[in-house]
Amino acid sequence: MERTLVLLKPDAVQRGLVGTILSRFEAKGLSIVGLKMRTFDRSVLEQHYEVHKERPFYPNLVDFMSSGPVVAIALEGKDAITVVRTLVGKTNAREAAPGTIRGDLGMSFSNNLVHASDGEDTAKFELGLWFADAAELSDWTPADLEWRYSVKEELA
Ligand code: CMP
């Protein structure tokens, strides 16, 4: 099983789309292992987006992400990082494919509803940043795990 970090950005909260977006991840078969909502300090966001520090959009991005509540979610599942990126869709929501979260629900490059870790190293770093206290993450096994996956082929 793999874990990944998802952020529901201030636009998702303001537009009342938290439940809609969360339900897509749950319906897919991913398990929520961490969940919290808060207006986060700029310092967390500066660390989170450190990789974009020199990009022209960086100051606006940090302003936007610290402008209101964000929902931080840790999701678990097989190949969760790739599965979540596929569900979320292209960064520019106007170009994202129908059926993806951004493709169905958004119109913006900057206000693109969701952030999702883009690789194993990033997921490890971001989960450590947003869920620094391991007690905020729950280890649990969904009762229907054996129906989400083939026991013989995928859970052996
Ligand atoms: P996210 O997945 O959170 O990662 C970086 C964010 O920067 C991205 O989603 C967009 O919301 C935002 N952004 C704004 N402009 C750009 C751009 N030109 N290229 C990439 N990301 C951008």
128 alpha carbon – ligand 1 mean position (Å):
21
Within 6 A (CB) of ligand 1 lie 52, 57, 61, 91, 109-110, 112, 115
Question: How do residues 48-92 score in pLDDT, each as one tens digit?
Answer: 999 999 999 999 999 999 999 999 999 999 999 999 999 999 999
Distance CA 89, CA 111 (A): 14
Distances (CA, A) of 13 to 45, 72, 89: 17, 11, 19
From the CA of 112, give the closest atom in ligand 1: 11
Distance CA 88, CA 65 (A): 18
45 alpha carbon – ligand 1 mean position (Å):
13
Q: Which amino acid is at 31?
A: S
Per-residue pLDDT band at 134 (split at 50, 70, 90): very high
Structural domains of the chain sorted by starting position, each given as residue range(s) with its CATH number in brackets: 2-154 (3.30.70.141)
Q: Contact, 107 vs 5, CB < 8 A?
A: no
From the CA of 52, give the closest atom in ligand 1: 5
Distance CA 41, CA 114 (A): 18
Per-residue pLDDT at 13 = 98
Per-residue pLDDT at 36 = 98
135 alpha carbon – ligand 1 mean position (Å):
30
Q: What is the mean pLDDT of residues 18-33?
A: 98
Distance CA 61, CA 63 (A): 5
Q: Which amino acid is at 43?
A: S
Whose CA is closest to atom 2 on ligand 1? 115
Instruction: Determine the residue of 8, 109, 122, 130 to mutate for testing ligand 1's pocket, defined as the one with the most ligand atoms within 8 A of the Cβ atom.
Output: 109
Residues labelled as active-site residues: 115
Per-residue pLDDT at 156 = 86
Question: How do residues 90-112 score in pLDDT, each as one tens digit?
Answer: 999 999 999 999 999 999 999 99
Per-residue pLDDT at 26 = 98
